[in-house]
Structures are given as structure tokens and as C-alpha cells.
Amino acid sequence: MKNLLFTPYRLNGIELKNRFIMAPLTRSRATSPNEVPNALMAEYYGQRTSAGLIIAEATQVSLQGMGYANTPGIYSQEQIEGWKLTTEEVHKKRGKIFLQIWHSGRISASKVNGLQPVGPSAKIANDTSVYIFDGAPNGDATFVPVEEPRALTHKEVKETINDFRTAAKNAIEAGFDGVEIHGANGYLVDQFLRSNSNQRTDEYGGSKEKRTRFLIELVQAISEEIGKEKLGVRMSPFISFKDMSDPEILDTMLIAADKLEQIGIAYIHLCEADWDDAPIIPADFRVRLRSTFSKTIIATGNKTPEEGHELLSQELVDLIGFGRNFISNPDYPLRVEKNAEITKITDNHTLFGGGSARGYTDYPFLEN
């Protein structure tokens, strides 16, 4: 039987040729200063249009929202123009592409953007670092510890929601087919969701329900701006890294999912595992999520094509995301189809690359 990953899918009116999703992958190749997307990035994304949908890397909605060096932004006209290179290249090759919009919150340091980090509360993420490029040999990144954040004022929370709204509008102007809110992996939206990082006493904190409010206001604002059918949300219920352990998180995410269902966004994207030691996802969470949220669900994290097929056949998810395999195999779906060899990432130092094509656009295609 043919792997279900090869069946087309209709994502709220957007025709996807298959169910392989290229997961968002920070690669730190934007041109700095000003964090402008460039022709090298357009070439990289253009190489990966065999995916049914590309979700382009986490892209900050403001300078304050920047957490690592050389990550792209989507808040200036120069950045919008830079992203047009990518969307034009992807569309020319008949691909589809969303942009992941991002605020790193407390996961940042003044060495990255010259600013003190901000968060829901003035609570540092222990044992967590970010990287800068400071002239180390080979262009390698240098890791620096995150700094104590200050709590966003109520007014700043509203302004941040507005930054996301503007970023979504800019993404559509830049030619993206839609946007994904980065609500995963310990960054600002996730920081609002969790009891340990969110100790606010206003309407954005204090109970599970109130901790979902920031995300839901973002979703409402962006839906008004670009349409709910062009909007997805990524969440990572099972992570604990970046000091994010929270016993209430599964319930909180299901409360959020219920609200996202009522608003009617395009999809929820589960970021299930980052590295190889991630926990197994309990099947009952998938069942509960499926019964709460009727639209598209994407699952990403350490999936083999066989596991992807299995999950699709159980109808608990609709699309499967692949991260690292798309880094080192620009034509990953073709390789799966032909049962061809899968290239491994050869050098982890090139994952976050400070402008270099090495380990970025030089992974081979099958035909070569």
C-alpha cells in the first residue's frame, strides 16, 4: 500500500500536493545588521519545494522579539522585500509556504539585540543560552547565557499583540500563503501558557484559562487582519527544556485548542520532539486533541515515513512535519518514494550558519 504521505490534502482551500510538511527551522542566515532575508535563503527554500507545505523559520515580529543572531525579521519594509525573494522562488516552483512568526521573550540576551529580554514575568530561564556570532573560527556560533527578563507591562502586552498583527500583515504582503504563530519551545507565547514562567496577576495570568489569553488575543488579532483560514498555531505540549516544566500544560493546551476550534483557525501544529531524548506522546492526548479540534492537525518530531503513514491511517493527525531530514535532503519526499538513501546532517556547526552556504544549500539532490 502506498504511504499516505503521498496523498494530496486540502488545507482550508490551499491544495497541498502531499502531506510532507517542512517544519520551521532556524538557520540564522539573514543579513545583519537589520536581519534581512536574502537570495541565499530564497535558494534554500526553493530547493525544498517538494514538500507539500514549507513552514519557513521562526521570524521575529520586532527587534525586542529577537533571541539569536542572524534570525530574520518581518517588521521592516526591507525585510518584507527580502522575503519576497523566497516566496517568489517557492511559488515559481509551485510550492506553498507559510511564515512562522515569533517573539523569543525571555530567551534572549542584550548581546543579541542590545535590549534587556522581556517576558510575562521577571523570571529567568535557568540553564539556557542563546548564540551570537562574534568572529569564532569557521564562523561558529558562541553561546551566551540568557539574561533576567523584565515583565511586560499591560500596555506592552497589547503592543506586542499589535506587533504580531503587523507581522502577519507584512507576511501576506511579502507573498506568504499564511502564517504560523510560534507558540512552542519555550518562547514568548509558550511562556504565557505556562505556570512557571507566567506569574502575572492581571488578566493574562493566574489560571490556566487566563494563561491562554495572550495566545487567543494574538489569534483574534491576526484572524481579523489576514483571515483565520490562513493562520496556524504551533505548540509543544511535551517539552520541558528552557526551564519550561509545567504540570498543568496539557490541560492548558486543550483549553487553548477548544478556543482555537471556536475561532476556526486552519491548523494546530504539534511540536512533539526536538532531539532524540524527547518523551513519547501518550496516544490519549492525540485522541483528546482530535475530539477538541476538528480542523487540520500537523505532528512533527522524530517521525519516520512509516510512523507518519501509521499516524495518518489512524486519522489522529492530517499532515506530518519533518525537520532535520529536510535540512540534509532538499528532495526528501522523492527519496522516500524511491526508497533512496537519506543523507545525514554532516556538520552540526552549520545548522546555525551566520550567512554561510556551507551545510545550507550544498546538500545533494538525488539526481546529481
Ligand X SMILES: Cc1cc2nc3c(=O)[nH]c(=O)nc-3n(C[C@H](O)[C@H](O)[C@H](O)COP(=O)(O)O)c2cc1C
Residue closest to ligand X when measured from CB atoms: 323
Amino acid identity, residue 313?
S
Query: Quick count: other Cβ atoms within 10 Å of Cβ 227?
Result: 15
Q: Is 187 a catalytic residue?
A: yes
Task: Map residues 275-314 to x or -, x wherever contact with ligand X holds by CB under 6 A.
Answer: -------------------------xxx------------
Amino acid identity, residue 307?
E
Beta-strand pair 9-11/14-16: antiparallel
The answer to the question of residue 78 lying near ligand X (CB under 6 A) is no
Q: Are 227 and 176 in contact (CB under 8 A)?
A: no
Q: Are 292 and 254 in contact (CB under 8 A)?
A: yes
CB-wise, 259 or 269, nearer to ligand X? Answer: 269
The answer to the question of residue 351 lying near ligand X (CB under 6 A) is yes
The answer to the question of residue 185 lying near ligand X (CB under 6 A) is yes
CB-wise, 234 or 335, nearer to ligand X? Answer: 234
Piece of the chain touching ligand X by CB under 6 A; list 1-9, 75-83, 114-122, 270-278: 270-278
**Cβ at position 75, least distance to ligand X in Å:** 17
Query: Quick count: other Cβ atoms within 10 Å of Cβ 206?
Result: 15
Residues 6+ apart with CB under 8 A from 19: 4, 5, 6, 7, 9, 52, 308, 312, 318, 319, 320
> Considering 187, 267, 360, 363, which one is annotated as catalytic?
187
| Cα 222 to chain centroid, rounded | 16
**Cβ at position 254, least distance to ligand X in Å:** 20
- SS3 for 81? helix
Among 16, 42, 51, 58, binds ligand X (CB under 6 A): 58
Residues in binding contact with ligand X, number by CB under 6 A: 22
Among 25, 41, 222, 336, binds ligand X (CB under 6 A): 25
Query: Quick count: other Cβ atoms within 10 Å of Cβ 81?
Result: 13
Task: Map residues 308-327 to x or -, x wherever contact with ligand X holds by CB under 6 A.
Answer: --------------xxxx--
Q: Hey, what's the cell of 255? A: 483549553
With cell 475530539, the residue in question is: 291
Among 43, 88, 274, 337, binds ligand X (CB under 6 A): 274
Q: Which residues are catalytic?
A: 187
Residues binding ligand X (CB under 6 A): 23-26, 57-58, 100, 182, 184-185, 234, 271, 273-274, 300-302, 322-325, 351
